[in-house]
Amino acid sequence: MPGFPEYHKYDGLGLAELIRKKEVTPGELLDEAIRRIEDHNPRINAVINKLYDQARAAIEAGLPEGPFTGVPMLVKDLIYMLEGVPTSAGNRVLKNYPAPHDSELVRRWRASGVVMLGKTNIPELGLVPFTEPEAFGACRNPWDTTRITGGSSGGSAAAVAARMVPIATGGDGGGSVRGPASACGVFGFKPTRGATPSGPDVGEYWRGFNVDHVLTLSVRDSAAMLDATYGADVGAPYLAPPQKRPFLQEVAAKTGRLRIAFSTKPFLGNLAHPDVEKATQEAAALLGELGHDVVEAAPEINAEEFSLQFLTIVAGEIRAIQETISRKTGRRISLTDYEEATYAVGLFGKMLSAGDYAEAANSLQTMARGIGGFFEDYDVLLTPVLAQPPVHVGSLQPTAAEKSQLRLVGRLNAGWLLNLAGGIKPLADRAFEQIPWLPMFNVTGQPAMSIPLYWTEAGLPVGVQLVGRFAEDATLFRLAGQLERAKPWFDRLPQGFA
């Protein structure tokens, strides 16, 4: 049998240890990862650009010594660049433009020893919490292929859940690591703002809301990769405080008695499915059994103001991205190059003034200070991740009538119609309804994670979110390690993907 059939029984650090002991070679692991992608990807469409030849060439050239030497990894197809490989951002035009060099974070991933063998599916420009781009087709959930994987790191989450790779990269600008991790039953950690580099081609992404890291099968893989990539690069706009000791050591360390608040009340929207409430209640009970002080409490958030201001920032950023794409490609910004909703959000961003953008940023920063005050009394906040278990593919798409309206606005190039008709707001409300506990912690920059502790009776994963104080990533890794030992999830596999 080709490759290494026991592959799915190990996390990344486990595979790297086998390589160090010469029980398996990087080539054998690569062959096994390729076999699994070829076998499973037709069902879930997680990998949209296969880099097998580059991966073999990297092994032949000699891999650097690092914590993950020889371990296969997939890369989300957004923001960071691999030299000579397109960063499509889920867009039909960008998939034809190879990157001129590696991003700094890619260099650090390479230095950890991983073997990058492909890029994963995302929604166009990472805009929505479901991964169904027109350019590449919908990504499907390994636990039920009629269901979504979340977004925007949906391809990465699906690939890890399907055991194609033990590690795949992700970025979280509004829940884009935590949401897919919950939908696919894997571990997703969003570090503190500034913990990982965004250069040299990006200063900050989405006003600093976004931070990039990985999705993993185990807590320790996430911690070890953050150790390998942690810290600002040259010219960084933010500087996360230095860590006291390696995050990998924190995973096995004692947590101490923590004061943990929990809530199932949505911060945005009104939807909280009984299964997500049950998952959170059970997690709260488990934390109490582990010796923590758990009380029901949550920060107060003005949902209407937050949603409007967050949408304002995102619309402005999407328009800026479209302007950058236009300069890069020499193509005029056109409806023919974008999906209806993406183009419309860009038009809305074009309509906004600099004052609108600055006012939104100031308003969100003021709200962030209020949220930060809540954490003066609590070490950690526990909430659900998504408002409901993974829904069916296509169910979150704009309706036919909405798409028709958006096409009309696009053809007329009339962003003002979106304001008058409210064409953007229903789409935004639908998105926020799915992720009601996530975007505020992108605004605050706090570390947050999704942990897979619960599955529904139908066999669908439902994660819970734990949020820590700013720069206290170590606290979350200690707590994640404790929960992983108390209620392991590693050996729980979607049927047919072993």
The amino acid at residue 271 is: L
Phi and psi, residue 130, nearest 5°: -150, 150
Given 76, 95, 119, 190, the catalytic residue: 76
Average pLDDT value over all residues in the chain: 95
Whole-number percent of the chain with pLDDT over 90:
91
Q: How far apart are CA 416 and CA 449, in angstroms?
A: 38
Catalytic residue, candidates 152, 182, 198, 307? 152
Residue 1 is predicted with a pLDDT of 45
Q: Judge whether 179 and 441 are in contact, CB under 8 Å.
A: no
- Cβ-count burial of 446 within 10 angstroms (0-12 exposed, 13-18 middle, 19+ buried)? buried
Decide: helix, strand or coil at residue 466. Answer: strand
> Catalytic residue among 112, 176, 218, 307, which?
176
CA 214 – CA 130 distance, rounded (Å) = 18
Q: Which residues of 44-77 are buried (b: 16+ CB within 10 A; e: fewer)?
A: bbbbbbbbeebbbebeeeebeebbbbbbbbbbbb
β-bridge partners, 465 = 383, 450
**How many other CB atoms are there within 10 angstroms of residue 24's CB atom?**
19
Q: What is the mean pLDDT of residues 169-196?
A: 98
Examine the residue annotation and report whether 450 is marked as an active-site residue of this protein: no
> Does position 31 have pLDDT exceeding 60, yes or no?
yes
> For residue 76, which phi and psi values (nearest 5 degrees)?
-60, 140
Q: Considering only 157-166, 263-272, 316-325, 416-425, which range has the smallest mean pLDDT?
A: 416-425
pLDDT tens per residue, range 270-321: 999 999 999 999 999 999 999 999 999 999 999 999 999 999 999 999 999 9
pLDDT at 417: 73
Mark residue 358 as left, alpha or beta (left: phi above 0; alpha: psi -120 to 50; beta: remaining): alpha
- Cα dihedral across residues 204, 206, 381, 144: positive or negative: negative
Give the 3-state secondary structure of residue 452: strand
How far apart CA 482 and CA 70 sit, in angstroms, is 28
Q: What is the structure's pLDDT at 474?
A: 98
Residue 420: predicted pLDDT: 55
pLDDT digits (tens, 9 = 90+) for 345-393: 999 999 999 999 999 999 999 999 999 999 999 999 999 999 999 999 9
- Helix or strand (DSSP H, E) at 178: helix 178-184
User: For 226-242, what is the mean pLDDT?
Assistant: 94
Q: Where are the alpha helices (DSSP H) in 244-353?
A: 247-251, 274-289, 303-329, 340-351
Give the sign of the dihedral formed by CA 336, CA 339, CA 340, CA 343.
Answer: negative
Q: What's the pLDDT score for residue 2?
A: 57
Q: What is the pLDDT of residue 3?
A: 67
Q: What is the pLDDT of residues 194-229, one digit of tens each?
A: 999 999 998 898 999 999 999 999 999 999 999 999
Q: Other C-beta atoms within 10 Å of 239: how many?
A: 11
pLDDT digit string, tens, across residues 90-140: 999 998 899 999 999 999 999 999 999 999 999 999 999 999 999 999 999
What is the torsional sign of CA 490, 492, 496, 498? positive
Check if 156 is active-site. Answer: no
Helices 12-20/219-229 angle, 10° precision: 80
What is the dotted CATH code of the domain comprising 7-255+448-486?
A: 3.90.1300.10
Query: What backbone torsions phi and psi does residue 146 show, to the nearest 5 degrees?
Result: -90, -5
* Domain spans of the chain, in order of start: 7-255+448-486, 303-367+390-434
How far, in Å, CA of 498 to CA of 30, rounded? 16
Cα–chain center distance at 161: 14
Give per-residue pLDDT as tens, 426-456: 888 889 999 999 999 999 999 999 999 999 9
pLDDT given for residue 422 in this prediction:
65
Q: What is the pLDDT of residue 424?
A: 77
Return the pLDDT at 253: 98
- In the residue annotation, 9 being an active-site residue is answered as no
